[in-house]
Amino acid sequence: MDPAHSDQPPIERNMAETEINPRYQLSLWTAEFIDPLTERRYRQYVEPTVARYLRNALLIWASLWMAFALTDLYQFGLSETFVEALVVRGILAGLIALGGALVSRRPRLATAGVVVTPLEALGFTLFFLFYFVTPAEDIPWIVGLTMVMIIGLFVLLPNRLVLSAGVAVYAMAGTLLSVAAVTPDTTWSGMTVLALILMVPVVSGLFAAYRFEAVRRREFAALERAQAEIEQRRALEKELQRQAATDPLTGACNRREYERRFEQEVHRARRHDRPLAICVLDLDHFKHVNDTYGHNAGDAALVLTADICRAELRESDILGRLGGEEFVVILPETTAAAAAHVAERLRVQLERTDVVASQQRFRLTATFGVTQLAEGDRSINDLVLRADEALYEGKRTGRNQVRAA
């Protein structure tokens, strides 16, 4: 780890590191991840929250839009203009409700902006109509309300920044055109001032939304990196546990591990009154293998022996390395007679398989001793001693055979 970051909290350190990771770099113009796969993961991550928030925001928008019908009633009275305005409001409110229903059924639409963007554009388009039916002295109030709506566009309605900016520019342009159309004495200087005034909510909202989107994505990137670190540490811990329990050369259980698992099997066998057997095997003339072919060949012979055992044994069987060229196999739910059949199968397979090492090829044999758990056995050593006695009897009578005790 970089010493400069060693004292930083993990999340702050990860946020700093994401600034220089190409996968997590943000676009200067859109505040989105430049990498499309990262951006897709981010949208999937925020999709439930954004969809829920957007549904609520659309509900509030539709409610407020219809509530302002009271201002129409105050301004126009029970006139034909009021009825037309009410119809316009009802159409937009219905479309907003439809958009909310679509987002509920397909939350992915919320983060894509394909629902809220057309609604925003349509909402401003219909709002422009009010410029043409509002008395000239009330036009400034309509402009002020437009500015509030532009701010709300960025702050209240979740959408992609580039789409929100496009709608805001459309709202600004539409407002300028509407004011110019309904105000006969409009001057270029006046329109310039109005454009500058409208730029205030556009720029303010744009920067606020940009900061929000950038911070959310940086937090997401830091979270991903933290989760990756956690997974790496878990994998490392798992690997360390595996290494602590296995022989580094053959991958068989080391003494601590096979003794621990033997104790578990003994308790299970005695509790359920089931048989338990072990098999001890010792490679024949192993010193001759090392002296003739070299220690690398001897290592290859040990690895091959372990591989053959794993291939022939059940998943519930336990292979351990006693030391040197000697292995032990713990066989749950197995009698001594059945263990002898297993050992014979291993003996034949080992005898038939070539050991290949350093462009040399040779074959191995092994002698096996098997025994079964007895009433007076207190540890695995009791069984290993009996199996060893049977094994050494096999060694004395010619090797490459299975003996039971």
Query: What is the residue type of 233?
Result: R
pLDDT mean over 331-345: 96
Number of domains the chain contains: 2
Q: How far apart are CA 264 and CA 275, in angstroms?
A: 13
Q: How far apart are CA 266 and CA 278, in angstroms?
A: 11
Q: How far apart are CA 244 and CA 327, in angstroms?
A: 18
Residue 287 covered by a domain: yes
pLDDT bracket for residue 184 (50, 70, 90): confident
Which of 212, 228, 244 is the endpoint of a domain? Answer: 228
pLDDT bracket for residue 19 (50, 70, 90): low
Residue 233 covered by a domain: no
Residue for token pair 């410029």: 131
Q: Can you say whether the dihedral through the CA atoms of 350, 354, 360, 365 is positive or negative?
A: positive
pLDDT bracket for residue 137 (50, 70, 90): confident
Residue 240 covered by a domain: no
Beta-carbon neighbour count of residue 311 at 10 Å? 9
Long-range contacts of 124-128 (CB under 8 A, 24+ apart): 124/149, 124/167, 124/170, 124/171, 124/174, 125/174, 126/88, 126/91, 126/92, 128/174, 128/175, 128/177, 128/178
Beta-carbon neighbour count of residue 225 at 10 Å? 20
Whether residues 271 and 400 fall in one domain: yes
Residue 234 covered by a domain: no
Q: Are strands 276-283 and 366-372 parallel, antiparallel or unpaired?
A: antiparallel
pLDDT bracket for residue 130 (50, 70, 90): confident
Residue 34 covered by a domain: yes
Query: In this model, does residue 11 exceed pLDDT 60?
Result: no
Whether residues 128 and 262 fall in one domain: no
Q: How far apart are CA 149 and CA 278, in angstroms?
A: 80
Residue 283 covered by a domain: yes
Which of 285, 290, 292 has its CA nearest to residue 395?
Answer: 285
Whether residues 214 and 284 fall in one domain: no
pLDDT tens digit sequence for 231-289: 999 999 988 888 888 999 999 999 999 999 999 999 999 999 999 999 999 999 999 99
Whether residues 205 and 304 fall in one domain: no
pLDDT bracket for residue 9 (50, 70, 90): low
Are 347 and 365 a contacting pair, CB within 8 Å? yes
Residue for token pair 């033997």: 262
Q: How far apart are CA 45 and CA 48, in angstroms?
A: 7
Whether residues 202 and 345 fall in one domain: no
Whether residues 23 and 115 fall in one domain: yes
Whether residues 176 and 264 fall in one domain: no
What pLDDT is attached to residue 254?
93
Whether residues 209 and 315 fall in one domain: no
Count how many Cα atoms sit within 13 Å of the Cα of residue 250 in the half-sphere of its side chain.
27
- Structure token pair of residue 165: 């900016």
Whether residues 187 and 332 fall in one domain: no
Whether residues 182 and 280 fall in one domain: no
Whether residues 163 and 310 fall in one domain: no
Residue for token pair 């909290």: 9
| Three-state secondary structure string covering the chain | CCHHHCCCCHHHHHHHHHCCCHHHCECCCCCCECCHHHHHHHHHHHHHHHHHHHHHHHHHHHHHHHHCHHHHHHHHCCCHHHHHHHHHHHHHHHHHHHHHHHHHHCCHHHHHCCCHHHHHHHHHHHHHHHHHHCCHHHHHHHHHHHHHHHHHHHHCCCCCHHHHHHHHHHHHHHHHHHHHHHCCCCCHHHHHHHHHHHHHHHHHHHHHHHHHHHHHHHHHHHHHHHHHHHHHHHHHHHHHHHHHHECCCCCCECHHHHHHHHHHHHHHHHHHCCCEEEEEEEECCHHHHHHHHCHHHHHHHHHHHHHHHHHHCCCCCEEEEEECCEEEEEEECCCHHHHHHHHHHHHHHHHHCEEEECCEEEECCEEEEEEECCCCCCCHHHHHHHHHHHHHHHHHCCCCCEEEC
- Structure token pair of residue 312: 């022939």
Residue 130 covered by a domain: yes
Of all residues in the chain, the percent with pLDDT exceeding 70 is 95
What pLDDT is attached to residue 22?
85
CATH number for the domain spanning 377: value is 3.30.70.270
Q: Domain containing 370: what range?
A: 255-404
- Structure token pair of residue 352: 């038939």
Residue 245 covered by a domain: no
Whether residues 179 and 303 fall in one domain: no
Point out the residues that are catalytic: 325
Burial of 175 (0-12, 13-18, 19+ CB in 10 A): buried
Highest mean pLDDT among 12-16, 85-89, 371-375: 371-375
What pLDDT is attached to residue 73?
87
